Amino acid sequence: MSREVRLADIARARSGDKGDLANVALFAPDDLLYAALCREVTAERVRVHFGRFVRGAVERFEVPNVRALNFVLHQALDGGAARSLRSDPLGKSYGSLLLRMRVTLTEDEARRAPPAQSPPL
């Protein structure tokens, strides 16, 4: 048995810019879910998920000491913040963009997912 979830249900993220490169760090709440992220969220999947925003390659780095995957997106900011035509020239929202991705968890992993929390409207 397996279950599909959104990354936003199980993970946190932060993104930033460096020239025309963006980085997105994805954080897992525990070791089991970190292993699930390592299995599910490949560089290639991230490249496809970002669509036309990313014109270059995507690299993935494992940062197990903080249970994170760090994705480096090349040619991802429309030439860089000061020459970008976009509303989000710094890629600040790229973290949330990644959290939209759907991944498949085992029953065991799904049980470990933290309870859903939402802010008051």
Partner 1 sequence: MTSIRIGAGQGFYGDTPDGAVAVAERGDVAYICCDALAELTMAILQRDRIRDPGGGFARDLPSFMRALLGPARSRGIRVISNAGGLNPSGAAAAVQEVARELGIDGLRVATVTGDDITARVDELREAGEELRNMDTGADIATIRDRIVFAVAYLGARPVVEALERGADVVITGRVADASLFVAPMVHELGWKWDDWDRLATGVVLGHLMECSGQATGGNFSGDWWNIPDLDRVGYPVCEVSADGTALLTKPAQTGGRVSVDTVAEQLLYEVLDPRLYMNPDVVADFTTVRLGQAGADTVSITGVRGRPRPDRLKAIVGHLDGWLGAATIGYSWPHALAKARHAALLIDRLAKRAGVVPIEQVTEFIGVNSLHGDAADVETAADIAEVTLRVAGRFHSEADASRFPRLATPLALNGPPFIGGAGTPQPPRALMGVWPTLVERRLVEDAVAVSVASAGR
Q: How far is Cα 1 from Cα 68, in angstroms, rounded to an integer? A: 26
Q: How far is Cα 28 from Cα 7, in angstroms, rounded to an integer? A: 9
* Contacting partner 1 within 28-47 (CB under 8 A): none
| 94 within 8 A of 24, measured Cβ to Cβ | yes
Min dist CB 1 to partner 1, Å, is 26
Interface mask toward partner 1 for 47-86; x: CB under 8 A: --xxxxx-----x-xxxxxx-x-x-x-x---xxxxxx-xx
Which of residues 96 and 106 has its CB atom nearest to partner 1 in the complex?
96
| Rounded alpha-carbon distances, angstroms, from residue 94 to 17, 21, 30, 100 | 10, 12, 23, 10
**Which positions lie near partner 1, rule CB under 8 A?**
12-14, 16-21, 23, 25, 27, 49-53, 59, 61-66, 68, 70, 72, 74, 78-83, 85-90, 93, 95-97, 99-101, 117, 119-120
